[in-house]
Each structure stands twice: as C-alpha cells, then as structure tokens.
C-alpha cells in the first residue's frame, strides 16, 4: 500500500511540475513590441524637465497614433500645434483618454478633426513651451494621415474636476455644458480675452485670442462650449485654460437670464418618533417675495407602494390622492400670504413646528409661510387627501425605500403641464416615469440636477427619469433617527443659476438641537447660500 501511495504522490508531483512549466511558458508569449505608445504612457515620461524620446525610453515604441482634435481655421489655437487624443489599451479594453500636442509648424493647419494620424516621434523632445506640454523637434514629414472623417465625440467636462487636475485633461476635447460667464457679461461684451466660465460646479478660464475669427462675437447667456483644455504651467503653478476652436463650437442654450425666486434648501422627512404633523420643507428666498401678490405652491410626491392613485402618474404633480386611502400620491401647500426677504429661510409643513419630532426644539418663531395638520386636512386646491383614515395615519414623505420628490412652483394654478422652478428627488424606486405614449411623470425644473432639454443632444426630457434626468439625492438613511437633509450649494441671484451644485449633507438631530444646525454651515458649503 505504501508503494502504491508513493507512486501516486510521484505522479502528482510530476504532473504539477509539467503544468507549472506549461504555465510559465504561456506567461511569456513571444511577440513584437507595439510601435505605438499611448499619450497616457508618454505623458508619464515628463517629470518637469525636457525628455529626449527614443525607443529604449518608450519600451520599443517610436510612434503615436490618434485622432486629430485641433482645428486652426478659427485662429484660436497656439500656432503650429497638431493636437491628437487617444486611449490606452488594457487587456481587452481601453481606458485613460489623454491628449498630446506635437509642434510640426505651419502644416498643423492642414489637419482637421476626424483625421486619424500616425506620427513618428523618435528623436523628438517633450517640453513645456509657453506653459503647454508638447513634443518639439518633429517635422511634418513624420506625420501620416491614415483616415478621414472619423466620428469624433467630445466628452462632457466638469469645471471643478478640470481645475482640480488640469494635467489629466490637457489637450483633450471637452464640452463645458450650460456655461455662463461669472461675473455676467454686459450686452455688448465679446468673447475676446480671458473670461470666467461657470458650468454649475466651478469657474474655468475660457481664452479667446484677439485675432480669432470669432473674437468679436457676443456670446449667449447660457451655452455649450466645445474646445481644447490646456494646462498652462507658469512658475510651477498649473492653471486650466479652455479654448473654443471656432464659432460653431458654441451652442446657444438660452439668450436670457432665468431667475428663480426661491430654492429648496432642506427637508425633514423622518423625525425621531412619529412622523405625521412633524415633517417640513425648508426653502431659501433668492429675492424678496410677497406671496399675497405672487402666490407659490409646494407639492410633495409620495411614491410609496401603498400611495394612491397608483401606477405611473398621468397627472404628474397634481395626481392628488384617493378618498379613504391614507397615503396620497401628491399633496399641495398653497403659499398665498406672508413675505420673505432675499437670503431668508422659510418653512412649509406640519402644524407642530418642531425641529425633530415631538418634544424637540420649537421652530414656531421661524418664518412659516404655510403649515397645517395634514393628517386631518386635505391638501390645498383639492390636491391630496388627509393622511388619516380610520386607525391608519401616514406621513407626508415616503420612507419606504421608494422615491419621493419636492417641487416648488411660482404659481398657485398648477396643472399636470406646469413646470416647477425647483425640484429635488430622493432615490429612484416606484412608478415614476413612462415614455408612453402618452408620457406620464413628474415634470422637472431647469436647475443643478435636471434639464428639461438635454443640453448636449437638445432632445426634450421634461420628466424625472427621462433622458439624463436620473440624478437623485440618494437612498433615505436609517429610519427614525432624525436626520435633517441639508442641501448645500451656492446660488447666484445675479446669474440666475447654481454656481456650485447642491449636495446632500445628513445632519443627525437630537431633541435639543438648535436651529443653527439646520440654517448654518458646519464647515464647507453644506448649506445653500445666495450670491
């Protein structure tokens, strides 16, 4: 028996050795090195000083290949630079889109977006010239065009990400979406020079040469700006600069400033203890409002599984409720009296007016524009029935895991076709949108979360969950803790837009919490402010 076991052990060891040897052979497949290096790997070679390029340094490569994104017809790019972008291949996929400028002189103007090129860069030098990273010492004869009219798609860029890491975006084609100038331009200001462009996340420098063919164009109030990002480095300091290539790179979205008189700045959807009568919405005035002169409406949509009427909301924000069903689909507060000043918080909600449920800090001294006992009172104008039926009492906002939304309207006369001036949604569960026909859903506002028209494709998308309108504040947190949902951002009353988009900060309140915890920043921008 021992001899048999020994034979089996020997057989297993021998087999394992053979398999290991086979694996080692397969790990080292003999192949020729690619003659092409990616921009991602090429840019990593530059450490702050000039780099002479050779095949050893580039691990056997001697060339670049990619798509041309430069267009010198508008005379707004640095002369002589041929700019291409490409991606790096990793396994069976690709990643890391990067760009590179190659100084080939006047012949750079012969190439246009959509051209695919191969460029022999051996013998060239990577250096910064006038702050721009580029390859010098390569003449036009080293460039071979291998294709034309290749579809070229610009990536949407976010100014805050570009400004934070300009080297990752340098020499790539980027569209700044919903850009407005900050400070706003006068009606006669033209593009020429350095301007501060804001896309709702941050400001980025947009530069137009004085001799550009479109230098004297008056820009729209709001538009999409497709161009090339340069990482200008001077005295060791990086600064992102966005350059539009030609006039057609600018797409007008709006020619007029659209102001919003108030915005949603927070809400309490699940106070500690029982919810009914204690839920509320916090808003912030961006201008003075007299509600007796200009009535407003706040409507809450409750999309819990038991909400009625069920199914897709064919009547949108005015879906209301069903008699003898405690959970309504939407519930309305009509704001028809009282005044607020610009920069002042005001509140709408239950009649108890406590910060975190029963026996907590009173909020009765604050600016309440509309409050009542929604458990015993129907919503204003017949939109939403009381939330108590028999022994069943429901809250105002869903905590079931399905989405709920809050919409602000600058009118009392809300119909299913009325667009809100501000709206926020939590999560994505529930029957929220159907493309139809006919379509059914909750209409959105043009704000920091949503667009009624896709700013890139220009297709209409008026509802939450239609097109690109999928953003939400996230799943609701642990129930019955007493989280206040503070929505922090920066709204410019002058520009009529969010210059820093809102994000949700969960503030865990206690029964003794002070009002300052929901109305004052706790570090960073975690409370909405008005400029």
Q: Is the pLDDT of residue 19 over 50?
A: no
Read off the pLDDT band of 399 (50, 70, 90): confident
Dump pLDDT digits (tens) for 450-473: 999 998 888 999 999 999 999 999
Residue 355 included in any domain: yes
Q: Which domain holds residue 280?
A: 257-531
Structurally, how many domains does the chain consist of? Answer: 3
pLDDT value of position 234: 79
Dump pLDDT digits (tens) for 486-503: 999 999 998 899 999 999
Dump pLDDT digits (tens) for 100-148: 999 999 999 999 999 999 999 999 999 999 889 999 999 999 999 999 9
pLDDT value of position 457: 87
Final residue belonging to a domain, choices 238, 254, 270: 254
Residue 236 included in any domain: yes
**Residue 360 shares a structural domain with residue 499:** yes
**Across residues 345-363, what is the average pLDDT?**
97
Residue 329 included in any domain: yes
Q: Is the pLDDT of residue 4 over 90?
A: no
**Residue 195 shares a structural domain with residue 303:** no
For residue 177, CA distances in Å to 220, 252, 456 come to 13, 10, 7
Dump pLDDT digits (tens) for 418-434: 999 999 999 998 999 99
Residue 5 included in any domain: no
DSSP label of 351 = S
Residue 9 included in any domain: no
**Across residues 161-176, what is the average pLDDT?**
95
* Residues 173 and 225: beta-carbon distance below 8 Å: no
Final residue belonging to a domain, choices 147, 181, 199: 147
**Residue 497 shares a structural domain with residue 411:** yes
Residue 179 included in any domain: yes
10 Å Cβ neighbour count for 149? 10
10 Å Cβ neighbour count for 262? 25
**Residue 171 shares a structural domain with residue 281:** no
pLDDT value of position 233: 84
Cis status, amide bond into 7, omega within 30 of 0: no
Read off the pLDDT band of 90 (50, 70, 90): low
pLDDT value of position 26: 35
Q: What is the CATH number of the domain that holds 201?
A: 2.40.50
Q: Name, in order, each residue with C-beta under 8 angstroms of 306's C-beta and a sequence gap of 6 or more.
A: 325, 326, 327
**Residue 230 shares a structural domain with residue 286:** no
Final residue belonging to a domain, choices 147, 175, 191: 147
**Dist. CA 291–CA 297, nearest whole Å:** 10
**Residue 348 shares a structural domain with residue 235:** no
Mean of the per-residue pLDDT values for the chain?
A: 90
pLDDT value of position 42: 95
pLDDT value of position 236: 81
Read off the pLDDT band of 89 (50, 70, 90): low
Looking at the DSSP bridge assignments, the partners of residue 102 are 82, 135
Read off the pLDDT band of 258 (50, 70, 90): confident
Helix (H) or strand (E) holding 16: helix 2-27
Least confident piece of the model among 10-19, 305-314, 399-408, 474-483:
10-19
Please state, for a pLDDT cut of 90, what percent of the chain lies above it: 77
**Residue 220 shares a structural domain with residue 316:** no
Read off the pLDDT band of 282 (50, 70, 90): very high
**Residue 130 shares a structural domain with residue 161:** no
**Residue 172 shares a structural domain with residue 186:** yes
**Residue 491 shares a structural domain with residue 346:** yes
Three-state SS for 401?
coil
Q: Is the pLDDT of residue 17 over 80?
A: no
Query: Structure tokens of 158?
Result: 């976010």
Read off the pLDDT band of 524 (50, 70, 90): low
**Residue 248 shares a structural domain with residue 319:** no
**Residue 307 shares a structural domain with residue 327:** yes
**Across residues 193-212, what is the average pLDDT?**
96
What is the total residue count of the chain?
Answer: 531
**Dist. CA 315–CA 328, nearest whole Å:** 13
Phi, psi dihedrals of residue 246, rounded to the nearest 5°:
-155, 170
Residue 240 included in any domain: yes
Q: Is the pTM of this model over 0.85?
A: no
pLDDT value of position 5: 36
Q: Is the pLDDT of residue 25 over 70?
A: no
Residue 7 included in any domain: no
pLDDT value of position 478: 76
Question: Which residue has tokens 């920043």?
Answer: 521
pLDDT value of position 94: 52
Closest-CA residue to 217 (of 230, 208, 228): 208
């Amino acid at each position: 028996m021992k001899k048999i076991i020994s034979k089996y052990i020997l057989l297993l060891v021998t087999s394992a050795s053979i398999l290991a040897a086979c694996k080692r052979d397969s790990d080292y497949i003999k192949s020729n090195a690619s003659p092409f290096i990616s921009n991602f790997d090429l840019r990593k070679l530059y450490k702050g000083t000039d780099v002479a390029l050779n095949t050893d340094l580039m691990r056997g490569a001697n060339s670049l290949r990619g798509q041309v994104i430069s267009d010198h017809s508008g005379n707004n790019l640095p002369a002589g630079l041929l700019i291409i972008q490409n991606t790096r291949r990793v396994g069976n996929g690709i990643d890391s889109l990067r760009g590179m400028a190659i100084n080939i002189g006047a012949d750079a103007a012969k190439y246009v977006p959509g051209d695919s090129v191969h460029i022999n860069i051996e013998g060239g030098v990577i250096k910064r010239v006038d702050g721009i990273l580029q390859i010098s010492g390569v003449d036009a004869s080293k460039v071979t065009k291998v294709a034309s009219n290749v579809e070229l798609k610009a990536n949407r860029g976010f100014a805050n990400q570009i400004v934070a890491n300009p080297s990752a975006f340098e020499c790539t084609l980027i569209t700044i979406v919903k850009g407005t100038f900050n400070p706003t331009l006068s009606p006669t200001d033209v593009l020429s020079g350095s301007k501060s462009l804001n896309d709702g996340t941050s400001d980025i420098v947009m530069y137009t040469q004085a001799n550009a063919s479109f230098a004297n164009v008056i820009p729209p109030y709001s538009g999409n700006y497709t161009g090339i990002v340069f990482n200008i480095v001077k005295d060791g300091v990086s600064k992102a600069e966005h350059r539009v290539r030609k006039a057609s790179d600018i797409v007008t979205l709006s020619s007029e400033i659209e102001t919003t008189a108030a915005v949603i700045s927070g809400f309490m959807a699940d106070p500690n203890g029982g919810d009914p009568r204690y839920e509320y919405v916090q808003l912030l005035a961006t201008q003075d409002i007299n509600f007796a002169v200009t009535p407003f409406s706040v409507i809450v949509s409750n999309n819990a599984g038991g909400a009625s009427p069920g199914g897709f909301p064919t009547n949108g924000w005015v879906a209301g409720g069903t008699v003898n069903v405690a959970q309504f689909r939407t519930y309305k507060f009509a704001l028809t009296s009282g005044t607020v000043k610009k920069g002042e918080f005001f509140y709408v909600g239950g009649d108890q007016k406590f910060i975190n449920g029963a026996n907590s800090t009173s909020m009765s001294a604050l600016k309440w524009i509309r409050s009542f006992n929604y458990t015993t009172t129907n919503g204003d104008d017949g939109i939403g029935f009381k939330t108590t039926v028999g022994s069943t009492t429901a809250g105002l906002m869903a905590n079931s895991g399905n989405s709920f939304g809050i919409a602000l309207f600058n009118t009392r006369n809300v119909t299913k076709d009325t667009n809100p001036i501000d709206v926020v949604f939590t999560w994505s569960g529930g029957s929220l949108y159907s493309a139809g026909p006919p379509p059914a859903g909750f209409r959105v506002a043009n704000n920091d979360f949503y667009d009624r028209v896709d700013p890139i494709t220009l297709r209409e998308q008026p509802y939450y969950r239609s097109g690109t309108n999928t953003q939400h504040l996230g799943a609701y947190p642990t129930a019955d803790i007493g989280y206040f949902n503070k929505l922090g951002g920066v709204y410019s009353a002058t520009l009529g837009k969010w210059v820093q988009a809102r994000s949700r900060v969960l503030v865990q309140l206690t029964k003794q919490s002070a009002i300052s915890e929901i109305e004052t920043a706790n570090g960073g921008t975690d409370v909405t402010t008005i400029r």
